[in-house]
Structure 1
Amino acid sequence: METQAWEAAQRWLADQGVSRVRDGWVSIEAPDVLLTADQVAQSWAGGVFTEDMRAADQVRLAFGLLDLLDAYWVTCEMRFADRGPEGPLPADALWGGYRRRLEADRDAEALTYSLWVDWFEDRGTAATAFAEVLGNDIDRVVAEPSEALLRRARRVLECSGPVPWPVKEPAYRTAVRLPALHSALFGGLRASYHDVHGDLEPAAASALLDRLELPADTEHFAELRHVLAAGHQNHYRSPHAWDEAVRTGS
């Protein structure tokens, strides 16, 4: 959590008449109504992007709200602003904020969920988003791994199922050189097959799978290997293939 951003967001909410209490949040308009962090985000986060300040400062304030509330909806408002008539948002502020928080030793579920269902599922944003959060510096991650860089890489790989295969394959091929990323890469390959919008090329994915150093009892490894070897691209295009792999013990 970036302390200054968190504190700035708390001050900004106070200016909107919203304050933290023991079990949640209250607004000056309805002080007897206890609000959840999600309710605060849905009611006030969008207001950040109407503030009379530089766009980069709006983004920093929005990330402060995310640090404070840990609410997925804050990321939605960032995306709306980036894709809206006043967008795009400054890339350094937007993606730098994502990268730093993906590297932090704290929960990042709101961020990874937003990458998965918003940025990565949208073919109009998937390539840029994946490049910014991992693709552009996967070589550095593998060559000079640190706990922070590995944490970011693992989180991105595991939610990268919807990213188009031609976009993510170079990063996957680089990641396979580092055993510390093999478990996360397996998660990415499995999601690439199982996600509704998952994308992979069976032969290339199968070749990567064969290079992974994983525990012998890794769940679903054999089934994934079976369906890829059979040339299946996605669970929802071949709904019975996985069941068949499970039934045969492949």
Structure 2
Amino acid sequence: MDTQAGQDARRWLAEAGVTQVGDDAWTDGDSPERQLTTNDVAHSWAGQAFTDERLDLAGQLGLAFGLLDLLDDYWVTCEIRFADRGPGGPLPSDALWDGYRRRLEAPETADAVTYSLWADWFEDRDTCETAFAEVLGRDAGRLRTDSPEPLLRRARRVLECSGPVPWAVKESAYAIAARLPALHAALFAGLLGSHRDVYGDLDPSAASALLTGLSLPADTAHLAELRAALTTGHSAAG
């Protein structure tokens, strides 16, 4: 994603001798003959953003988000989480979650961000409630058929990866999404994940009622499976 933060991160890497020479090819000034992948750069440098003493914690976080924009690599989100949960944390909450929201709303793909939410923030019972509230829950009441596309895009992405979020935390947002046909496919993905994910969580009766009201193509993959599972009262894969 081409952002000012990403451009700043590129300059920061260049100061350290790390430059891009291809789509997935970088070189390091210390070993210019050795080619690095984007993932190599993420593993070597994302954590270093939080050791740059020229920046305060908010500035370090901004740099890390710039590296995420530039590299589009999940490992950058891991380093952000390590910094937040580690001895130097927590990170400034407003800046942390604003960074997530902005990237969830952007037209560009947000796979690293949604995977981070699903596998890290939502599966962890210490962080799932706050994380879900920050990326969707607190804004769910603003969802309308005529809501701005960036908000709807964020809602879709969060719903799709929300399977591990405890049912009591997400039920209200799910109920609101069920009233908006534009979110039905994403809500179905959330319900399916709530059933199938190892850490998925749902209430079978409430989930079945939501599923019944969704406008979905009859040949939607796994639709019959989910209907049958909820009818028999299966709450989650685990």
The bucket for the TM-score relative to the shorter chain is over 0.9
Which amino acid letter does the alignment assign opposite residue 131 of structure 1? A
In the alignment, is the contact (CA less than 8 A) between 2:165 and 2:200 conserved in 1?
yes
The residue number in structure 1 matching 2:22 is 22
Deviation at 1:144, TM superposition (A): 4.7
1:127 aligns with 2:133: no
The percentage of aligned residue pairs carrying the same residue is 64
Which is further off, 159-168 or 14-23?
A: 14-23
What RMSD, in angstroms, separates the aligned Cα atoms of the two structures? 1.2
In the alignment, is the contact (CA less than 8 A) between 2:202 and 2:235 conserved in 1?
yes
1:94 aligns with 2:83: no
Stretches of 4+ moved more than 3 A in 1? none
Structure 1: distance between partners of 2:78 and 2:143: 28
* CA offset digits 1:27-63 (Å, max 9, x no partner): 0111111101110010111010111212111111111
Which amino acid letter does the alignment assign opposite residue 41 of structure 2? V
In the alignment, is the contact (CA less than 8 A) between 1:81 and 1:87 conserved in 2?
yes
Which amino acid letter does the alignment assign opposite residue 10 of structure 1? R
Which amino acid letter does the alignment assign opposite residue 6 of structure 2? W
Structure 2: distance between partners of 1:80 and 1:219: 36
1:167 aligns with 2:161: no
In the alignment, is the contact (CA less than 8 A) between 1:75 and 1:110 conserved in 2?
yes
Structure 2: distance between partners of 1:37 and 1:60: 19
In the alignment, is the contact (CA less than 8 A) between 1:18 and 1:27 conserved in 2?
yes
- Secondary structure, counterpart of 1:64 in structure 2: helix
1:45 aligns with 2:19: no
Deviation at 1:92, TM superposition (A): 1.4
- Secondary structure, counterpart of 1:114 in structure 2: helix
Deviation at 1:233, TM superposition (A): 1.1
The residue number in structure 1 matching 2:86 is 84
Deviation at 1:95, TM superposition (A): 0.7
Which amino acid letter does the alignment assign opposite residue 187 of structure 1? A
Structure 1: distance between partners of 2:12 and 2:111: 24
* Matched ranges for 1:1-250 at <5 A: 1=1, 3-22=3-22, 24-52=25-53, 53-142=55-144, 144-236=146-238
Provide TM-score, normalisation by structure 1. 0.91
* CA offset digits 1:123-173 (Å, max 9, x no partner): 000001100000010111236512111111000000000011111111101
Structure 2: distance between partners of 1:202 and 1:210: 12
Deviation at 1:235, TM superposition (A): 2.7
Which amino acid letter does the alignment assign opposite residue 88 of structure 2? E
In the alignment, is the contact (CA less than 8 A) between 1:2 and 1:64 conserved in 2?
no
Q: How many residues align?
A: 236
Q: Which runs of 5+ in 2 are unaligned?
A: none
Q: Which runs of 5+ in 1 are unaligned?
A: 237-250
- Secondary structure, counterpart of 2:32 in structure 1: strand
Structure 1: distance between partners of 2:22 and 2:188: 41
Which is further off, 17-26 or 185-194?
A: 17-26
Deviation at 1:176, TM superposition (A): 0.8
Which amino acid letter does the alignment assign opposite residue 49 of structure 2? V
In the alignment, is the contact (CA less than 8 A) between 2:145 and 2:182 conserved in 1?
no
The residue number in structure 2 matching 1:243 is none
In the alignment, is the contact (CA less than 8 A) between 2:104 and 2:113 conserved in 1?
yes
